[in-house]
Amino acid sequence: SLIFRSDSNGEDLEGYAGAGLYDSVTTAVMTEEVVDYSSDRIVADAEYAREIMSKVAHVGAAIEAALGGAPQDIEGVVDASDNVTVVQTRPQM
C-alpha cells in the first residue's frame, strides 16, 4: 500500500482538515523502503517531463473550461502509455 498526499491542509475548508483521504489507514503490514525515482523518465528526461506536464495542463484547462472557468482541484494519473486519466475534480477553495 502507498498512501501520500501533497499539502492537503492548504486546500481544505477551515475547520475541515483532511478532505479527500481524511484518515488514511492501510490494511497491509507496513514496511519501510527507500525509493529512488532519480532514473525514472519523468525525472531524468526534461523534454519528456515537459510533454507530460503539457498534457496534464491541457486536461486541467479543458476541465476548468467545461465547468465554467472555475478553478478546480483535479486528481488523476498518467499511465505507462502516457494517457492522462482524471479520477476526481472539485472546486478549488
Q: What is the DSSP string of 17-73?
A: TTTTTSS---SSPP-------TTSHHHH-HHHHHHHHHHHHHHHHHHHHHTTT--EE
pLDDT in tens, 10-63: 555 554 444 555 556 666 777 889 999 999 999 999 999 999 999 999 999 999
Question: What pLDDT score was predicted for residue 92?
Answer: 83
* pLDDT value of residue 29: 79
**The model's pTM:** 0.63
At 17 the pLDDT is 47
Residue 2 has a pLDDT of: 44
